[in-house]
């Protein structure tokens, strides 16, 4: 796959050389605040290895792109999706996700990267999109809404981070 050109960003496939970025994203308290409890390095490495695998329509593992700021050449985060379901009636349904380093929060990068990722995924046959946002992650909800998602469900106490239970906010979008 050739890199995706997205305004001030370039999105390219994750490679072995991206391990330091992936590890930093999965260790940073601010990044994980609404995502998950911290994982052991071995668990992070396993997730990384899974994301290095080639992806095709119907695969359940994550397709992962590294988001790079064109001007500086700095990797600022990751964005991608994984298959949730493949049915004759609905086609491929995928869930999106993204993580960005805190110094790049609020710059619009997540919106630009997600739009490019959605466009690319649609060319691979994805017909429906879903995203799950932990309650309180207002910025992530706004990114999804800017990309055409709408909130369709709220699952009370759907997710636990540390000792706190949060509602899962389910967003959906048709391709």
Mean pLDDT, range 61-77, rounded to an integer: 97
Backbone angles phi, psi at 40, to 5 degrees: -70, 150
What are the structure tokens assigned to 125, written together? 């046959």
pLDDT band for position 174 (50/70/90)? confident
* Mean pLDDT across the chain: 93
pLDDT in tens, 7-50: 999 999 999 999 999 999 999 999 999 899 999 999 999 999 99
pLDDT of residue 112: 98
DSSP-assigned letter for residue 79: E
Domain extent at residue 49: 4-174
The Cβ-side half-sphere exposure at 4, using a 13 Å CA radius, reads 22
Give the mean pLDDT of 141-154.
Answer: 97
Residue 62 reports pLDDT greater than 90: yes
Residue 56: per-residue pLDDT: 78
> Per the structure, how many domains does the chain have?
1
**Within a 10 A sphere around the Cβ of 20, how many other Cβ atoms?**
9
pLDDT tens, position by position, 73-88? 999 999 999 988 766 6
> CATH number of the domain that 37 lies in?
3.40.630.30
Lowest-confidence segment of 43-47, 54-58, 128-132 by average pLDDT: 54-58
């Amino acid at each position: 796959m050739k890199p995706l050109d997205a305004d001030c960003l370039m999105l390219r496939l994750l490679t072995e050389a991206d391990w330091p970025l992936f590890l930093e994203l999965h260790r940073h308290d601010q990044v994980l605040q609404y995502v998950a409890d911290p994982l052991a390095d071995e668990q992070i490495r396993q997730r990384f290895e899974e994301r290095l695998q080639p992806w095709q329509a119907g695969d359940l593992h994550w397709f992962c792109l590294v988001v790079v700021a064109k001007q500086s050449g700095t990797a600022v985060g990751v964005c991608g999706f994984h298959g949730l379901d493949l049915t004759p009636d609905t086609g491929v349904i995928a869930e999106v996700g993204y993580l960005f380093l805190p110094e790049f929060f609020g710059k619009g990068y997540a919106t630009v990267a997600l739009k490019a990722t959605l466009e690319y995924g649609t060319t691979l046959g994805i017909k429906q999109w879903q995203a799950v946002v932990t309650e309180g992650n207002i910025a992530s909800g706004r990114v999804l809404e800017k990309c055409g998602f709408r909130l369709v469900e709220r699952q009370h106490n759907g997710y636990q981070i540390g000792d706190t239970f949060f509602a899962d906010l389910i967003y959906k979008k048709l391709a």
